[in-house]
Amino acid sequence: METNFLDKLLADARPLAFKGQVANYIPLLGLADPQKLGLCVAEPDGALISSGDWQERFSIQSISKILVFTLSLIDSGFDKVLEKVSIESTDDAFNSIVNLETKNNHRPLNPLINAGAIVCLTLIDGKNMHEKFTRVLEFTRLLARNSSIEVDEDIYLSEKATAARNRALTYYMLSTGAIEGDVEAILDAYFRICSMMVTCADLARIALVYAQGGAGFFPKEIARTVKAAMCVCGMYDESGQVAVEVGLPTKSGVGGGLLSVAPNRFGIGIYGPALTDKGSSVAGLEVLKKLSKELDLSIF
């Protein structure tokens, strides 16, 4: 794959950023430059092909949910995790509470919405929430092959200070028995995980691990399950459209990142902080659609 090809994809998609808006419900995310756009593709031998603002650092946000889900399966096993959270799509927003009351016997519908990720986080090994957080950080560094990934303290504090909705849904889950323990400590770990700073290269390398069936880091069965969940619900209430238009397991984050897996082929990382109203990168999705089309990557 040529760098020129990626440069052209970015140049064509960059103008679309005006259609979106940077997330500002977490105040510090509102400072991002909406025009930024970067792309990195990790090839099977680990070589990276990059273009645009691929070296920009941004908070991983909900892309971390695939790592949390993976670790919960590794540490607690399928039966225990799937007893607490199912893998069904939702047509509600990522931080919706309504289904916890009305559907699925109080179990979050899937591990890639906030409620489900918070449940999975409690199922990761660790004597306390700080140890569970550290396990996620170390795992992220391992898969990204980047030991310098750190939490941005300011973004973490910004989310912590404005997290009424996440607090509400987590306390709600405590009341129904969906989770146990100290809600503030659980949320603290969740906010820290969302505030891990990554680049497109980190996301591409992580995606490559899933593209290669776990690449020896975890069993193929887990990689397969996480990819299936990404197809069904990785893009929240636009997962169906992304399945049709991109056709790859993909996860978005409100920091502007997109992680996409081309099984047995590539790992893809994209950054573009201007978001659709569903919370995913507008220009980034356009890049992904074109990349998938040009290289015939859709798994369907």
Active site residues: 62, 65, 190, 236, 254
DSSP run (H or E) holding 250: strand 250-252
If the CB atoms of residues 16 and 235 are measured against ligand GLU, the closer one turns out to be 235
Among 149, 155, 194, 207, contact with ligand GLU (rule: CB under 6 A): 194
**Contact between 253 and ligand GLU (CB under 6 A)?**
yes
Site for ligand GLU in 123-162 (CB under 6 A): 159
If the CB atoms of residues 214 and 255 are measured against ligand GLU, the closer one turns out to be 255
Residue 255: how many other CB atoms lie within 10 Å = 29
If the CB atoms of residues 254 and 297 are measured against ligand GLU, the closer one turns out to be 254
If the CB atoms of residues 6 and 246 are measured against ligand GLU, the closer one turns out to be 246
Q: Cβ 279 to ligand GLU, closest distance in Å?
A: 5
Q: Which two tokens stand for residue 7?
A: 């440069």
Spatial CA neighbour of 207 closest among 278, 282, 288: 288
Q: How far, CA to CA in Å, does 211 sit from each of 92, 217, 250?
A: 28, 12, 11
Q: Cβ 52 to ligand GLU, closest distance in Å?
A: 21
**Contact between 254 and ligand GLU (CB under 6 A)?**
yes
Could you tell me the end-to-end alpha-carbon distance of the chain, in angstroms, rounded to an integer?
Answer: 22
**Contact between 285 and ligand GLU (CB under 6 A)?**
no
* b/e per residue 59-88 (b: at least 16 CB within 10 A): bbbbbbbbbbbbbbbbbbeeeebeebbebb
Site for ligand GLU in 196-225 (CB under 6 A): none
Q: Cβ 115 to ligand GLU, closest distance in Å?
A: 10
If the CB atoms of residues 53 and 159 are measured against ligand GLU, the closer one turns out to be 159
3 CB-contact burial (10 Å; exposed 0-12 / middle 13-18 / buried 19+) = exposed
Q: Cβ 36 to ligand GLU, closest distance in Å?
A: 17
Among 51, 114, 281, 292, contact with ligand GLU (rule: CB under 6 A): 114
Q: Cβ 287 to ligand GLU, closest distance in Å?
A: 18
Q: Cβ 96 to ligand GLU, closest distance in Å?
A: 11
Q: What is the distance between the alpha carbons of residues 52 and 38, in angstroms, rounded to a whole number?
A: 4
H helix intervals, the chain: 3-13, 64-84, 98-102, 114-122, 129-144, 153-161, 164-176, 183-194, 200-211, 220-233, 239-245, 282-295
Question: Binding string, 76-95, against ligand GLU, x = CB under 6 A?
Answer: ------------------xx
Secondary structure in 3-state letters for 76-94 = HHHHHHHHHCCCCCCCCCC
- The SS3 assignment for 59 reads strand
Among 50, 51, 61, 110, contact with ligand GLU (rule: CB under 6 A): 61
**Which residues lie near ligand GLU (CB under 6 A)?**
61-62, 94-95, 114, 159, 166, 194, 253-254, 279
